[in-house]
Amino acid sequence: MESRAVDLSGKNILVTGGSMGLGLATAQACLRAGGRVVICARGNSDLHKAVHDLKAVAGADAVDGIRADVTILKDVDAALDLVESRFGPLTSLIHAAAVQGPIGEVTAVDPDEWLEAVRIDLFGSFLTARQSCVRMKSRGGRIVLFSGGGAAAPFPNFSAYACSKAGVVRLAETLSQEMAPYKIEVNCLAPGLVATRLLAQSVAAGHTPQIEPVPAALGADAAAFLISDRAAGITGKFVAAPHDGWRDWASHLDELKTSDIFTLRRIVPRDRGMDWQ
């Protein structure tokens, strides 16, 4: 069934990590859908180029950018302030900023580098989501946090990234319940293996993927859908962009709301047809 186009008219969106890769593709998808977007990133040169290119396509009135580190409170607030000063009240956050962290078995990686990756990937997700919720509590809104490799299965040699991304999923599930009274809906999105700088770093370290990369546009389109009105009522879910039929989830709201499908959970023997527990 052909899905209707996503409409983000009237949405004021912050996209973190928006200067390259998946974040940039997500900003492009949101702008194509009619949203107004602020992107943020740590690197000035990539950020300036991305803003210039986005403005050339979408117009200066629809997009802006700011240098920000998602682990620093004042930077996150400055990015949110820019959204609201340029476009109006924040309606949506898409958090794409992440690092790969150290690559190698646990006995070989540097502990400080490991902790720094968790700080950026997990704490950065917490901080941007927290500050966005502060802005949205009076009127509601939608948040998408990006997950990744290791969130749903072990990911040897990428323990910092995997642990962070598994934590991000549980963060999204938890926030979805905490923020439900305020009509803030939160989901976590696994975009699939995308050919970004993170994949290039993995290959350079000698870890060739066993599956083919998917286009960044697939995850970007899923993120745009999840902040759209078509996704209203979908919250607390762990969405795999390449595998889940998310375009048609609006037709299954009752099942999504009343079951634990598309969530992290512990598997017990009875789930596998065993009768000893």
Using only C-alpha atoms, the chain has a radius of gyration, in whole angstroms, of 18
Q: Is 182 a catalytic residue?
A: no
Secondary structure class of 78 (helix, strand, coil):
helix
Measure the CA–CA gap between 16 and 218, rounded to whole angstroms. 18
**Catalytically annotated residue among 114, 146, 158, 161:** 161
- Tell which residue, 124, 132, 93, 100, has the closest CA to residue 15: 93
Measure the CA–CA gap between 13 and 94, rounded to whole angstroms. 7
Query: Which residues share a beta bridge with 187?
Result: 144
Measure the CA–CA gap between 238 and 10, rounded to whole angstroms. 26
Q: What are the E-state strand segments in 137-231?
A: 141-146, 184-190
> What type of residue sits at position 268?
V
Instruction: Indicate the length of the chain as a whole number.
Output: 277
275's tokens: 């009768």
246: which DSSP letter? G
Backbone angles phi, psi at 93, to 5 degrees: -125, 130
Measure the CA–CA gap between 122 and 98, rounded to whole angstroms. 9
In Å, how far are 17, 50, 81 from 40, measured between CA atoms? 6, 10, 12
Q: Are 191 and 243 in contact (CB under 8 A)?
A: no
Active site residues: 161
